[in-house]
Amino acid sequence: MSNKILQKILIIEDDPGILNYLKTTVSAAGYDTITATDGNLALHMITSHCPDCILLDLGLPDMDGSDIITSVRKWTLTPIIVISARNSDEDKAAALDSGADDYITKPFSSIELLARIRTALRHSLTASGNKEIGIDGCYHVGELEIDYKKLRVCVRGEDVHLTPNEFRIVALLGKHPGRVLTYKSMLRELWGPSAPMDNKILRVHMASIRRKIEDDPTNPRYIFTEVGVGYRIAENTQETDD
Ligand code: CA
């Protein structure tokens, strides 16, 4: 038996079948799991058990999952992954905007679920240090390099000549690898709270960015569209110790 302290995952889900599946999957991957089947119990467990990560179903019997996010975010940055049966993009975007870290739509594979959990846990460990950006001031993924000192993006060592706005978009995504940034949060971050909430401007810039950085812009490797929700930049999953 290992002496390592297990990371604790709180699963909030009222459907017994899905709860059982989640609990089995997460436990088998070596995490300690605790569960709650309604919102009030969930809030109690978050304060009393301090989980390392929360899996949250949005449709709970006594409250809406988004109320849990809002409430939890008043006092902790514990990563929250929304498990959504809702197909509405507005619901996903609202969950992310209210402070969820990620979402996953039912049905999903256990591989996908565990990958999202690992990403969420890694970010919670590095959130303050922004370890994603190396001491050279660059974020690397595959053959893409975002240089935060020289304010340029290179592919295979060649400057791809982004416009200033294009650079700002890529630079913002590069600070949150593997995470969905909603259109709304990006527009607000890039052009301020009074910016018009028009996703079209992002889509136009993104089309141009993809022509410059992707070998096949219709099948991107680096920046993915989460349809109706936002964008996600690929995560550098290589373990580097140097
Ligand atoms: Ca439910």
What is the tens place of the pLDDT at every residue in 172-207? Answer: 899 888 889 999 889 888 887 777 778 898 999 999
Do 12 and 121 belong together in one domain?
yes
Among candidate residues 184, 185, 146, the one with its CA nearest the CA of residue 166? 146
- The CATH number for 167's domain is 1.10.10.10
Over residues 1-18, the pLDDT tens digits come to 444 578 899 999 999 999
How many structural domains comprise the chain? Answer: 2
Q: Domain range holding 201?
A: 138-233
How does pLDDT run across 206-219, given as a tens digit for each residue? 999 999 999 999 99
User: Domain for residue 156, yes or no?
Assistant: yes
Q: In this structure, what CATH number is given to the domain that contains residue 113?
A: 3.40.50.2300
Helix axes 183-191, 89-97, angle to 10 degrees: 50
Task: Give the position of tokens 């989640």.
Answer: 22
The answer, as to whether pTM is greater than 0.85, is no
Distance 145 CA to ligand 1 centre (A): 41
Say yes or no: 96 and 164 in one domain. no
Task: Give the whole-angstrom CA distance, residue 36 versus residue 229.
Answer: 28
CA 235 to centroid of ligand 1, rounded, Å: 30
Of the three residues 125, 147, 164, the one that is the final residue of a domain is 125
Near ion ligand 1, which residues have CB within 5 Å? 14, 57, 59
Question: Is 241 part of a structural domain of the chain?
Answer: no
Is the domain of 114 the same as that of 143? Answer: no
The Å distance, Cα 16 to ligand 1 centre, comes to: 9
